[in-house]
Each structure stands twice: as C-alpha cells, then as structure tokens.
Amino acid sequence: MSELTFEQMLEESLKTIHAGEVVEGTVIDVKPDEMVLNIGYKSDGILTKSEYTNDNSVDLTTVVKVGDTMEVKVLKVNDGEGQVVLTYKRLAADRGNKRIEEAYNNKEVLKATVAQVLDGGLSVVVEEVRIFIPASLVSDTYEKDLTKYAGQEIEFVISEYNPKRRRYIGDRKQLIVAKKAELQKELFERIHEGDVVEGVVKNVTDFGAFIDLGGADGLLHISEMSWGRVEHPKKVFKVGDTLKVLIKEISGSKIALSLKFEDANPWKDAAEKYAVGNVVTGKVARMTDFGAFVELEPGVDALLHVSQIAKEHIEKPADVLAVGDEVTAKVVDFNEADKKISLSVKALSQEAAKEENADVADVDVDAVIASEE
C-alpha cells in the first residue's frame, strides 16, 4: 500500500459538502458587500450581502466581525473559480417559513416593523420572510395614505399561508376590530344615561361632532353643543379636543351626547329675571319679516314683534334694526313651558311718554298755584 502524500491526507481530513447542506462557518474576512467564511472545507465560503439579507442598505461590516460564527446553507460547492457560494438569508427564510406556519396555525399575533409602504399595502419582514398586508387589511377604516406606517412597529396575524407560491398575507384589521369590540363591550357595561364622561373629538361635520369615548363614538349634535346658538360646529371644536360630555341617551349602539348641563341652564331662573313688566337689554340676533329675535343671554331669545318696535308704524324690522344692535325693551309676555318671551319697545316708549306728560302736568299746576298767591 503506497503512502499518501501530505496534500492527499489534508484533503481527506477535510469534510465533503453538498449543495443544500447546512454548515457552520467562521468569519475570516468581512467587507461592506461580502464576507469570507472558513467552513472546514478545502475552499472558503463566500457570502455576499444579497445572500445575507434582503435589506440593500446594510453594511456587512456593521453587523458581523471577524471571528463570528454562523450557520449557513451551501448554494454551490464550486462557483467555477473554486469557491463555495453560501447563503444566510435563505436558511433564515427556511426557518422563518416554519415560524410563519406555526403562527398561522396557532393564530398567533406577530409584531414587525414596516419595511416598505407600497401602493397596495404594507410589507413587513419576519425572520427573512416577507409578508404583505393589503391596504384593506391595514385598518378597520379606509386609509388612502399609508405613509404614516413607514418604520412603525405593528401587530398582525397571518391570514393566508402559501409557501409554494411564496404568498404570505398579514391582517391587522381583525385585531383592531376585535379590540374595539372588547372596548365597546366594556364601555357599554360602564356608562349610563346621565353620566358625565370624557371623550376626544374624532370628527366634525355640519350637523355635529363625533366624540370617541374609548370604545364607541357618541354624537354631539349641533343643537346640544350649547344653551346658546352655534353657527357651525367647526367654529367651536376641532379634531383632538378633549371634552367632558353628558350622556343624554343610549339607544342600542348609538350614544347621544350633550354639553347642555342643567346647572348652566339659562332658563333655570328665567321666570324671575324675565318676569312680565321687567325692563331688559339684549342684542338683535336674527331678523324676520314679522320681528326681531333679541338674545337676552346665551340660550334665551325673546321676540320683538314688528308692531312693538316703535310707537309709529314700522313696515319691516330691517328698516330700523340690524343684527348686533342693542335693544332695551319691556317684557310683555313670559311662557316658561314653551320657552317664549315677548318684548315691546313701544310699551316702554309709551310709559316714558306718560311719565313725561305727568311731569309737565305737575309743573303747570305749580305755576297756577304760584300765580294765585
């Protein structure tokens, strides 16, 4: 039996490898785009950045250093130049596939950072497996602009797992829906009509504002925003405002809210302040053909009929009055049940004229008496 040469003995001492085999290697050199690993074979292994990660922005020198060990998969035993081509990301993806399969089967909630915002949704990566979350499954409401999710960590479940087609679909919507349902249940168990609760303005419309109560939205109708008049909800509230609101009514899943708290009700002591015969002052709030409505205080308006504006005949209120004018008049009628008050400037003028005539009459009598003496 002939003796083996040194080269033959060295070669026999080294292991044999095959494409697809998982081996352990030690980093002996690293550059930004490539690293070299000693894998215990006659040739070193080459691991490029594209086979290390799907992230093209990575600099390999910042993630590995000489002396590090890692498991890699053999892609080619000989690349034509005698080098072994390795991959790390495909091995990670194989393991990631198993991880995703387990999460899919167990309905596990996963967390990942949004890697890309695409036209049709979001892309996240879990253990080198790219998962697509369609725009329709990102939230429970339609969101046209998804850029706010870039770089954000989100939770989702795997709703579709198809490794043969490399199709992995994530769903964030069902988590949001389930969470809201839980919060809604807790909210309705906690609140009652007449309660005062805190909420945040979620949306403002022409007819009112929707208030997020932490589990469900309540409607604050424009008619319930103040005891006084509200010209437009957007002039009073903006999205994000925090309010303390009164739960006026709960009907099924609908909640009606109000800011008309009873302790601030201007009609509470109106019978005394606006009793018939009292002289009051207010500002013209709006005009009609038959009269002017005078705001005596926020939430309390009184009608000054066209026939009661002046002693002389007035064709229409706009001939002598304008919105914002201050008016002093006498209360001639008070109806608390219907919340109606009637005013008269004419009656006040007539009283003033009577007093003036009385004063003149008194002067004449005195003069007569004086002359007789």
For range 322-342, the mean pLDDT: 93
Say yes or no: 150 and 169 in one domain: yes
Domain for residue 279, yes or no?
yes
* Last residue of one domain, picked from the residues 141, 176, 211: 176
Domain end call among 87, 115, 130:
87
| pLDDT confidence bin for 287, thresholds 50/70/90 | very high
The answer to the question of residue 172 being in a domain is yes
Residues 6+ apart with CB under 8 A from 242: 198, 199, 200, 201
Question: How do strand 84-87 and strand 45-48 relate by DSSP bridges?
Answer: parallel
Q: Are residues 123 and 154 in the same domain?
A: yes
Cβ neighbours around 349 below 10 Å, total:
17
Number of domains, the chain: 4
184 in any annotated domain: no
Spell out the residues 6+ positions from residue 32 whose beta carbon is closer than 8 angstroms to its own.
49, 59, 60, 61
pLDDT level of residue 30 (50, 70, 90 thresholds):
very high
Residue 372 has pLDDT above 50, yes or no: no
pLDDT score of 361: 46
User: Same domain for 253 and 275?
Assistant: no
| pLDDT score, position 275 | 94
Structure tokens at 266: 């201007």
On whether both 71 and 14 belong to a single domain, the answer is: yes
Q: Report the pLDDT averaged over residues 230-249.
A: 93
In a domain, 322, yes or no: yes
Structural domain containing residue 115: 107-176
> Do 160 and 140 fall into the same domain?
yes
* Structure confidence at residue 257 (pLDDT): 96
Residue at 43 is within a domain: yes
Place of tokens 């086979």: 51
Whether residue 15 is found in the same domain as residue 73 = yes
Lowest mean pLDDT segment, chosen from 71-85, 302-316, 318-332: 71-85
Q: Is 96 exposed, middle or buried (0-12, 13-18, 19+ CB in 10 A)?
A: buried
Residue 202 sits in the same domain as residue 257: yes
pLDDT of residue 363: 47
The CA distance from 47 to 356, in Å, is 110
pLDDT of residue 8: 54
**Per-residue confidence band for 164, with pLDDT thresholds at 50, 70 and 90:** confident
User: Is there a domain that residue 74 lies in?
Assistant: yes
pLDDT at 7: 57
pLDDT tens track for 172-184: 999 999 999 999 9
Chain center to CA of 263: 31
Task: Work out the mean pLDDT of the chain and round it to a whole number.
Answer: 88
Under 8 Å CB-to-CB from 34, ≥6 apart: which residues? 46, 47, 48, 49, 60
Rounded to whole angstroms, the Cα distance separating 31 from 84 reads 17
Which residues fall within 8 angstroms of residue 243, CB to CB, at 6 or more apart? 198, 199, 200, 201, 211, 220, 237, 259
Shared-domain flag, residues 259 and 280: no
The answer to whether 166 touches 160, Cβ cutoff 8 Å, is no
Look at residues 189, 228, 187, 176 and name the one whose alpha carbon lies nearest to residue 211: 187
| Confidence (pLDDT) at 233 | 94
pLDDT at 23 over 90: yes
371 inside domain:
no
Tell me whether residue 255 is exposed, middle or buried, using C-beta atoms within 10 angstroms of its C-beta: 0 to 12, 13 to 18, 19 or more. Answer: buried
Report, as an integer, the average pLDDT of 341-347.
93
pLDDT confidence band for 369 (50 / 70 / 90): very low
- Structure confidence at residue 43 (pLDDT): 87
Beta bridge partner(s), residue 303: 293, 342
**Domain finish residue from 59, 87, 115:** 87
Q: Tell me the average pLDDT across 148-168.
A: 93
Do 202 and 152 lie in one domain? The reply is no
Angle at 351 between CA 345 and CA 357, to 5 degrees: 135
Band the pLDDT of 368: cuts 50, 70, 90: very low
The average pLDDT across 97-114 equals 94
Decide if 88 contacts 60 (C-beta within 8 A). Answer: no
Report the CATH number at residue 204. Answer: 2.40.50.140
In a domain, 44, yes or no: yes
Predicted pLDDT at 284 = 95
Helix ranges (H only) for 16-172 are: 89-106
- Say how far apart CA 94 and CA 92 lie, in whole Å: 5
Half-sphere exposure of 85 (CA within 13 A, CB side): 12
Residue 73 sits in the same domain as residue 111: no
Q: In the prediction, which pLDDT does 75 show? A: 92
The predicted model gives 120-132 an average pLDDT of: 91
Do residue 256 and residue 275 come from a single domain? no
**Which has the minimum average pLDDT: 9-18, 186-195, 278-287?**
9-18
Q: Residues 127, 161: contact at Cβ < 8 Å? A: no
* 118 three-state secondary structure: strand
Average of pLDDT values for 54-72? 91
